């Protein structure tokens, strides 16, 4: 079983739609959580960190449920430019603070 | 700042050849790492370094060597290339090993081993 699991998608939604992705992690000692965005054939870039109380950045809302060990990302009012792969990332609680990446959820926003 | 740079962008190797993937960062980051990304697998950590002179293995280190003689550079060496090493390789850096630090990635090297 992968340590971080995501639905690969693709999620195909019209412009203006609201879309949500979930991610589950298996290591209960995971300490930090992130969403990264990766455009086709490009490097991953940090979209947002995920805090225990939930956090929002414009049209993006991230939430963490430690009891159920899942993380979510909600995108409101989808834009064409949101089309990308969204990577769920957790960090282990050890001295190296390695980042563990999910394999990503692909989002396609159509006109 | 150039951020994290990688060379080459593309490379084709024959089985058994060796090569070095270069990675450099100009942000004075202590923590650097190498990942490979394969379809459906996500990014997997190959090797990482928490500072000059210090390296350690990630989850898929076999067939790769690294060294960290300076803060800026973290080259990845393929000792004897195999078709299973066909992948996209990303180098990344962050300021330290602390929780929550942003990790920055280079543009990647696409490697094909025939």
Per-residue confidence at B97, pLDDT binned at 50, 70, 90? low
CA-based nearest distance B54→chain A, Å? 12
Strands (E), chain B: 4-7, 10-13, 19-25, 31-38, 42-51, 54-57, 64-66, 76-78, 87-94, 104-105, 109-113
Per-residue pLDDT for A27 more than 80?
Answer: yes
Average pLDDT, chain A: 91
Q: What is the pLDDT of residues B66-88, one digit of tens each?
A: 999 999 999 999 999 999 999 99
Is the distance from CB of B20 to CB of B81 less than 8 angstroms? no
CA-based nearest distance B16→chain A, Å? 27
Select the residue of B45, B99, B106 nearest A31 (Cβ to Cβ): B99
What pLDDT does A41 receive?
87
Beta-carbon separation of B105 and A32 below 8 A: no
Q: What is the pLDDT of residues A37-93, one digit of tens each?
A: 999 989 999 999 998 888 999 999 999 999 999 999 999 999 999 999 999 999 876
């Amino acid at each position: 079983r992968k340590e971080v699991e995501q639905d690969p998608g693709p999620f195909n939604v019209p412009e203006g739609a609201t879309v949500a992705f979930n991610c589950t992690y298996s290591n209960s000692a995971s300490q930090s959580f992130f969403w990264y965005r990766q455009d086709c054939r490009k490097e991953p870039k940090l979209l947002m960190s995920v805090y225990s109380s939930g956090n929002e950045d414009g049209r993006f809302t991230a939430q963490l449920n430690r009891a159920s060990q899942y993380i979510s990302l909600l995108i409101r009012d989808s834009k064409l430019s949101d089309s990308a792969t969204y990577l769920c990332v957790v960090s282990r609680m050890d001295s190296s603070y390695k980042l563990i990446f999910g394999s990503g959820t692909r989002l396609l926003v159509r006109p | 700042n150039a951020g994290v740079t990688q060379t080459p962008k593309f490379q084709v190797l024959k089985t058994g050849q060796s090569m070095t993937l270069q990675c450099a960062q100009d942000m004075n980051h202590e923590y650097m790492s190498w990942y490979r990304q394969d379809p459906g697998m996500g990014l997997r950590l190959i090797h990482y370094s928490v500072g000059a002179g210090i390296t350690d293995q990630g989850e898929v280190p076999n067939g790769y060597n690294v060294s960290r003689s300076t803060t800026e550079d973290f080259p990845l060496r393929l000792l004897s290339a195999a078709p299973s090493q066909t992948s996209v390789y990303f180098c990344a850096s962050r300021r330290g090993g602390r929780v929550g630090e942003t990790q920055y990635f280079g543009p990647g090297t696409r490697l094909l081993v025939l």
